[in-house]
Structure 1
Amino acid sequence: MDFVVQDYDMVDFGSVSESGTDRPVNFSDDYMMLASSYPKRRAGRKKFRETRHPVYRGVRRRNPGKWVSEVREPNKKSRIWLGTFPKADMAARAHDVAAIALRGKSACLNFADSAWKLPVPASSDPKDIQKTVAEVAETFRTAEHSSGNSRNDAKRSENTEMQKGFYLDEEALFGTQRFWANMAAGMMMSPPRSGHDGGWEEHEVDDYVPLWSYSI
């Protein structure tokens, strides 16, 4: 399951209620534990040291751009697989869903608001946990898709406005229509006489021959 989430505050989990409760257990500050406040122990195997997230619990990097999430069952060596995600913070959210179901108020969460924002699985059974995680993932995917469409629509609208261009009525603003009319009228007038009896050919090329003195 692959999905991208940018703004968790905009996601509505009201529809995630088939496999989980609408409201998680009410955590108080006395019981709240955050992963950022409890540094993880040093991993023994080199592979885990290189791939696990430095802060988020239950999150490891599998390939570039891919993060996996799993959680250990209490008092057992077995782990519950939660899925593959394109972002580390979403994999961390999946871990929080499972941690709340398995450990309740003693869960160590990656995000403080997971205690009240995320739905709780119907039971601690791995299938119920995985089902709730999948539904939460779909909710985030839908929210991201809608957000992406809104951004694309806004961009297309902006491009359309730019393509319309800007029209400036120069004639109305600067009175150019009257200017060109006066110039045309002046050019249609006959040139004044030069003041000499001779014809045009009698003047040398370098002589200055005034044309007309019409003033616009």
Structure 2
Amino acid sequence: MSTSSDESSSNSTSRSANGASQEKKYKGVRCRRWGKWVSEIRVPGTRDRLWLGTYSTPEGAAVAHDVASYCLSGSTCLHKLNFPSMLPHTARTDLSPRSVQKAASDAGMAMDARYITSREITQNNERLSISVDDYL
């Protein structure tokens, strides 16, 4: 028998205290009030945080966090990643914090572009099917 907290954590959306729906939470990702998604990570062994950027999608911010986490911690962090199977094969663990920041940002922006393009194609296909159906 599952509790309500188990059920809500398995859903892809949940309700916040004010009743608004929120998307699934990813590690290292948070949503700004105006809808942009941001990511940052702590540098292991220090109190410093490394800013990974602002993204249009939570998936973009999550991939940026995954790349930075892997670059900073190596293969010991694989179980903590949001998308372990999507880790780029070019990810290196011998980078400076500034290089980690750039690699993470590039990966996050690429994921943002992929999700935004996918949404636009889906929306265009829906419009096309509606317009074609209207005339048949």
Length-normalised TM-score, structure 2 = 0.62
CA distance 1:135–1:121, shift in 2 (3 Å): farther
For 2:70 and 2:130, locate their aligned partners in 1 and report how far apart those are by CA, in whole Å. Answer: 46
Equivalent position of 2:28 in the other structure: 58
SS in 2 for 1:74: coil
Aligned with 1:136 (options 107, 112, 125): 107
For 1:58 and 1:81, locate their aligned partners in 2 and report how far apart those are by CA, in whole Å. Answer: 11
Equivalent position of 2:86 in the other structure: 117
Equivalent position of 1:152 in the other structure: 123
Equivalent position of 1:75 in the other structure: 45
Indicate the structure with greater strand content.
2
For 1:154 and 1:143, locate their aligned partners in 2 and report how far apart those are by CA, in whole Å. Answer: 16
Shift of 1:104: 0.8
For 1:125 and 1:101, locate their aligned partners in 2 and report how far apart those are by CA, in whole Å. Answer: 9
CA distance 1:83–1:158, shift in 2 (3 Å): same
**What letter is aligned with 2:110?**
T
Shift of 1:56: 4.0
CA distance 1:62–1:138, shift in 2 (3 Å): closer
Task: Assess if the C-alpha contact under 8 Å between 1:67 and 1:87 holds in 2.
Answer: yes
Q: CA RMSD in A?
A: 2.9
| RCO higher in structure (CA 8 A, sep ≥6) | 1
Indicate the structure with greater helix content.
2
Q: Percent identity?
A: 32
For 1:123 and 1:154, locate their aligned partners in 2 and report how far apart those are by CA, in whole Å. Answer: 44
What is the number of equivalent residue pairs in this alignment? 111
For 1:122 and 1:65, locate their aligned partners in 2 and report how far apart those are by CA, in whole Å. Answer: 32
For 2:59 and 2:25, locate their aligned partners in 1 and report how far apart those are by CA, in whole Å. Answer: 10
CA distance 1:100–1:149, shift in 2 (3 Å): same
Q: Tell me, which stretches of 5 or more residues in structure 2 are unaligned? A: 1-8, 10-23
CA distance 1:121–1:154, shift in 2 (3 Å): same
Q: Give the alignment of 1:6-21 within 5 angstroms.
A: none
Shift of 1:82: 0.3
CA radius of gyration, larger in: 1
Q: Tell me, which stretches of 5 or more residues in structure 1 are unaligned? A: 1-35, 37-53, 166-216
**What letter is aligned with 2:27?**
R
SS in 2 for 1:81: strand
